[in-house]
Chain A
Amino acid sequence: MWEYTEKVMDHFLNPRNVGEIEAPDGVGEVGSLACGDALKLMFKLDKEGRIADAKFKTFGCASAIASSSVLTELIKGKTLDEAMQVTNKDIAEYLGGLPEQKMHCSVMGQEALEAAIANYRGSIAAPHELEDRIVCTCFGVTDKEIERVIRENDLTTVEQVTNYCKAGGGCGGCHGEIEKIIEAVQGERVKSQTLPPPRKGKKLTTIQKIQLIQQTINEQVRPALRAHGGNIELIDVEGDKVIVAFRGMCAQCKVSEFTMKDVVQARLREFVSEDLYVEEDKDSVDPGHEHKG
């Protein structure tokens, strides 16, 4: 059972400003049913350009609902520039704190606010800017979003990043990349905490290479696929070509061009040899394998 503060329970049980506004000036929608929480925020401005009214609708757990409710309270009466200063930390603090694993609910509030303001200011309502790169394909989180939660909340571990923006909470394939982003943002401060360098041999015999590939798949790849109900089998190694087969359910990826093959290849290059490339074994496609878009 989660330990929620009285404030959280109050805003969950008696949420303020639920509903929709007719002819709103700005609308922001973030999250999705698949992600497990979603927030639709609307606001209307008065003549001085202050937020006269704000309303929300939220699909999600108690902390998602409470965070949304508090957000509307926090931004009312503010100009848009003032409202832009509201961060997820403000929301969490107002609630007297949220469980670590629920911090992403407060971040969702902040993101909805930004989306609504962007909507009012006429920028395209694309959730991700073009130059942003999706790092976590399971939850569709970009490098910019990850950088920001790290910076604004002073995060130092992958687990924290997952708690704050969900990135890395699905298949786990992006953990290495999140670590790199943490390192880039936090610099030397976290260098000592990062994992020891991968055990990459200099010159491997064929047998050693195959064993290392198998070991890397066992330790680095399979657990991630397993988290999504999938699996992987090493079929063969021909020179630098690694042939694998995917089994079971495949991840319900948000990004269609993303393939699990790339994740496997990246892992093998990191831990075994830069020259490796991965091919999917077409002959052994699992008959029960259905790709759900």
Chain B
Amino acid sequence: MKTIYFDNNATTKVADEVWEQMQPYFRTLYGNPSSMHTFGGQVGLKVREAREHVARLLACDPSEIVFTSCGTESDSTAIHGTLAAVPHKRKVITSRVEHPAVLAVCRELESHGYTVVELGVDKLGRLDLDELDDQLDDDTALVTIMYANNETGVIFPIERIAEMVTSRGITFHTDAVQIVGKMPLNLAKSRINLLSLSGHKLHAPKGVGVLYVRKGTRIAPFMLGGHQEGGRRAGTENVPGIVGLGKACELALAQMDDENTRVRGLRDRLEREILESCPDSRVNGDVESRLPNTTNISFEYIEGEAILLLLDRYGICASSGSACTSGSLEPSHVLRAMGVPFTAAHGSIRFSLSRYNTQEEVDFTIEKMPEIISRLRELSPFVQAAAR
């Protein structure tokens, strides 16, 4: 059975071109980029080249790129590193819908005497910028707000937020793992201080990430040791991963238009057709400001895990915000923050596409979806009750 992969916000396939570029750096060109000899030095050159590709995608200077091991490390470094650099300030502002890589770190800070403010969102998943403005004060060390939400794809007005925050002399960090490679970013014209990205979300391998650190941003190093990454992140470089990420960024830049036209078209078609053919379904999140590849649809009266398992029977991979799939007993914190009723939160399904998806895959899914939904609705004790 063919796999239809619609779970690209979880992770992506390593692009063929990326894999090809990486291979020599495992067994042939295995030198240490820090070595004095030519054998290692040539690897150092390749790392430099990768750094330039990443910088080009973000429109920033290569010296502002710090390679890390993953998005989570980038987030942790940004938060802890900023707070260590401004020890007299004790307040952090974030949002309720952040990825756990940010949320869990912020909540831990509370136990260390920090005041942490979590901004709420409205029912479309949008922030209230006035609320943010009210919260900014002299005690605020850091504001960390994601660029685009992993579950709903909703994009926050990050450039405006960065302007608001940094004009008060406060450091601004954004977890941008879901948007990098999908939408064009221009950090040269931005006020963002710190930005996290993750390789495996844009067709590079797992195990490599980046923390962008704008020149002049005060941040204390997180991992100490050697002089790698300008002393900001010690540890011998993950050379194959970095080389792969460089290539992936080069590809993303070249295919940005495809992502925003063809992939967006496929997503729109998938969403439109499912909403039309499946009654009592609705989209979660602001469709006016959303990633081109993501749709989060709730099916009332049925449960997400059951939907996923039936999709899986056809080789279709998606994910759900239901309690059962999270391993906890409560549905997604993002949907709950949006006030999505329990009836809909338990039955939410996220489809996240990539440039490797095709029209046939979308059509096949559109064809199978109504039978899956009606099959589970026949089992549900709430369907008849609702109809009465």
Give the B-binding residues of A (Cβ under 8 A): 2, 9, 12-13, 15, 18, 20, 29, 33-40, 57-62, 64-65, 101-102, 139, 162, 166, 169-170, 218-219, 222-223, 226-229, 231, 248-249, 252, 288, 292
Contacts and interface: CB of A to CB of B under 8 A. Distances in A.
Given A29-B381, A36-B322, A62 B301 contact: no
B381 A36 contact: no
B379 A58 contact: yes
Contacts of A249: 96, 120, 336-337
Given A18-B379, A60-B303, A222 B336 contact: no
Contacts of A166: 329
A18 B302 contact: no
B305 A229 contact: no
Contacts of A60: 303, 306, 324
A226 B382 contact: no
B378 A61 contact: no
Contacts of A9: 309
Nearest to B117: A247
B342 A33 contact: yes
A165 to B, nearest CB: 11
B246 interface: no
Contacts of A34: 342
Interface string B287-315: 00000000000000111011001100100
Scoring A29, A59, A62, A65 by chain B CB atoms within 10 A of each residue's CB, the highest score goes to A59
A62 B381 contact: no
Contacts of A57: 379-381, 384
A84 to B, nearest CB: 23
15 contacts: A2-B305, A12-B309, A13-B313, A20-B384, A33-B346, A36-B323, A36-B346, A59-B302, A139-B329, A169-B328, A170-B329, A218-B110, A231-B110, A231-B118, A249-B336
A40 B381 contact: yes
Given A36-B303, A248-B96, A58 B381 contact: yes
A59 B303 contact: yes
Contacts of B120: 248-249, 288
Nearest to B328: A169
Contacts of A58: 379-381
Contacts of B306: 12, 60-62, 65
A27 B312 CA distance: 34
Contacts of A227: 330
Nearest to B320: A61
Given A9-B309, A162-B329, A169-B330, 15 more contacts: A29-B381, A33-B342, A33-B346, A33-B382, A34-B342, A37-B324, A58-B379, A59-B381, A61-B303, A102-B324, A169-B328, A169-B329, A219-B111, A231-B110, A288-B131
A176 B310 CA distance: 39
A162 to B, nearest CB: 7
A61 B322 CA distance: 9
Nearest to B131: A288
Nearest to B329: A169
Contacts of B327: 101
B330 A37 contact: no
B149 to A, nearest CB: 15
B333 interface: yes
Contacts of B382: 33, 38, 59
Contact of B380 (A59, A228, A292): A59
Contacts of B126: none
Contacts of B269: none
A23 to B, nearest CB: 16
A166 B333 CA distance: 18
Contacts of A169: 328-330
Contacts of B337: 229, 249
A241 B301 CA distance: 46
Interface in B118-166: 118, 120, 131
A64 B382 CA distance: 15
